[in-house]
Amino acid sequence: MVNMTEQKIHIAESELTLIKAGAGKPLLMLHDELGFPGWLKWNDELAAQHEFVIPFQPGFDKTPRIDWIRSFRDLAGFYSMAVREIGLGPVDVIAFSAGGYLAAEMVASDPHIFSHMILVGPMGIKPEKGEIFDIFPVTIRTHLRATVADPANPEFGTIYGGEMTPEQFEAFEDARAESARIGWEPYMHNPSLPHLLRGVKNVPTLLIRGSQDKIVPQGCIDAYQQAIDGARTAQIADAGHRPEVENLAEFVKIVTEFLAS
């Protein structure tokens, strides 16, 4: 386990909590719609070459909700201010699910903010085929199980297995409530985003999806590849929406090679 530091920064009269861990070139990590899952094995694998910068989204865990943030585009503007405040940009970014939606909104507004962009199972663009899984009508346990191809995966069990404490349940429901508040209508996508992304040039982009992803269909990857100039794709076999958990070695290999390119 690497040393992890926590800090609070003030942005637009609000507060953002983030953690930093690792050493080397900064790597901004944007968590998914359920919040930061904790420090995982893939983080350990990359921490020798990268300093992770991981913000807690407003309304999630240690960052208070910000009422004026009413959409992912608002949130992208807030995070972009944070990147400037910290002095990170241009920075490499790795973003998961709804975090991928957030990263896409950020780069659409400022193509110079990222030097490399990795979107893992990204929401944000409505697919022509298939549907983004509706996370809100189901129980949190059903939602969690849908994120992996095999719920018996050991690391998934370590993160989400066993009895859920009242505190964990409350944190998950707070996260889902905030995701619903800013992403309910239209559901977890922005119709203008693919058009705005076509103005993004010279940002190396990698789209990663598990072949058994039940949350984000292949159509989302296809739409992003069409919208972002030169975007590459990588599929991880027999993995669901959390390929970083289900196939650690392949995920780390793909990410490491891309960030070094």
Would the pTM count as exceeding 0.95?
yes
pLDDT along the chain (261 residues), means of 10: 89 94 97 94 96 96 92 97 92 98 98 97 96 94 94 90 79 91 96 96 97 98 97 97 97 98 91
- Burial label for 261, CB within 10 Å (0-12, 13-18, 19+), is exposed
Q: What is the DSSP secondary-structure string of 136-177?
A: SSS-HHHHHHHT-S-TT-HHHHHHH-SPPPHHHHHHHHHHHH
pLDDT (0 to 100) of residue 61: 81
Among residues 83, 32, 82, the alpha carbon closest in space to that of 60 is found at 32
* Cα 145 from Cα 159, distance rounded (Å): 12
Reading the block at residue 19, the tokens are 């953690």
DSSP H helical ranges for the chain: 41-46, 72-86, 98-109, 140-146, 154-160, 166-183, 193-197, 218-227, 243-246, 248-259
| AA identity, residue 1 | M
Instruction: DSSP letter for 33, please.
Output: T
* Cα 255 from Cα 242, distance rounded (Å): 14
Among residues 15, 2, 10, the alpha carbon closest in space to that of 52 is found at 2
* Cα 39 from Cα 45, distance rounded (Å): 11
pLDDT (0 to 100) of residue 209: 98
Tell me the per-residue pLDDT of 110-123, one tens digit each, with 9 for 90 and over: 999 999 999 999 99
Reading the block at residue 244, the tokens are 């970083």
Instruction: DSSP letter for 1, please.
Output: -
pLDDT (0 to 100) of residue 1: 65
pLDDT (0 to 100) of residue 259: 98
Q: What is the DSSP secondary-structure string of 105-130?
A: HHHHH-TTSEEEEEEES--BS--SSS
* Cα 142 from Cα 146, distance rounded (Å): 6
* Cα 147 from Cα 34, distance rounded (Å): 11
pLDDT (0 to 100) of residue 12: 87
Which domains, from first to last, does the chain contain?
Answer: 4-259 (3.40.50.1820)
3-class DSSP state of 260: coil
